Amino acid sequence: MRAVVVEQWGGPENLVEREVERPEPGLNEVLVRVHAAGVNPVDWKTRAGGALIEWGAVPAVGWDVSGTVEAVGPGVGIFRPGDEVYGMPLFPRQAGGYAEYVVAPARHLAPKPANLTHVEAAALPLAALTAWQALVDAADVRPGERVLVHAAAGGVGHFAVQIAKARGAYVIGTASAGKHDLLRELGADEVVDYRAVRFEDVVSDVDVVLDGLGGETAERSLKVLRTGGRLITLPGPDDVPAAPDGVRAAWVLVEPDHLGLREIAALAERGALKPVVETVLPLAQAAKAHEIGEQGRTTGKIVLTVD
């Protein structure tokens, strides 16, 4: 099969397409024929240095996939060949989603949202699950709470806005002015141009902050939280600031989540969650996708087509 692999750690030019052996599903695993693969910051960060991931013999990148079940291994009862599925298998272990086929534990996948294309579905798993696990599992956002989402037009951020809104929250998003109309369309009640003002000067009494930036943004976010507030930061454990009494700060690392994927699919199918896909490229242009992503200006997601 065709797959994009990492010849050596470094720049996007080290992503190359190769013929590799097609995997076979084992116990409780399924073989998925990949139609589209999502591109995430963790992809280019690990490609650049090889950190975080437990690499196999042939380093291969990518986790987000949407496709069709080709075969099922012994013990699988929830899928059959021909089923359309999506998911983020094995993270943070190597999955090799930039390929024509991928093997995954069955419960690292879920039925693809029926109203979405494979390209749209491939944009969901890692980013939407991150937002879901941060806002729902870690922060337990409740109706009427005020939620501040940093980098609200990015991959995780634009899903977080929609998920928080679906939970009945009042949603505030930070983004450059050119992205404010999109955020309002996605459900944001209030938008802040971080280039024009310091968010802590215009936002207050927040119950939950979702911080995808870390560093000083996490520190400054503590100033806007009310007593009982929760700060959930995503970049890493070193970005969790020391929180004052009455405030909780925590780091969340996304993990495969069959039930979470089902909840996300349900939101998509009822029109409450829509992926924004800015760029679609063929698998052979994975290096270009990384070049675009590393510029840090993408609205929503980048997706590779594999057919």
The DSSP code sequence of 173-192 is EEE-GGGHHHHHHHT-SEEE
**How many other C-beta atoms can be found within 10 angstroms of the C-beta atom of residue 77?**
8
Q: Are strands 301-305 and 101-105 parallel, antiparallel or unpaired?
A: unpaired
pLDDT number for residue 52: 58
Q: Which pLDDT score, from 0 to 100, does residue 289 have?
A: 98
- CB distance 109 to 126 below 8 Å: no
Cα(43)–Cα(226) distance, rounded to whole angstroms? 35
Q: Residue 55 has what pLDDT?
A: 58
Q: 126 CB contacts (<8 Å, ≥6 apart)?
A: 38, 40, 42, 63, 64, 88, 91, 254
**pLDDT < 70: residue spans in the chain:** 50-58
DSSP reduced 3-state for 275: coil
What are the distances in angstroms from CA 68 to CA 72, 91, 111, 295? 11, 20, 10, 32
Burial class (CB in 10 A: 0-12, 13-18, 19+), 45: middle
Cis peptide bond upstream of 241, omega within 30: no
Which pLDDT value is given to residue 57?
Answer: 57
Burial class, 173, CB count within 10 angstroms (exposed 0-12 / middle 13-18 / buried 19+)? buried
Q: Tell me, what's the pLDDT at 54?
A: 60
Specify the pTM.
Answer: 0.96
pLDDT value, residue 58: 59
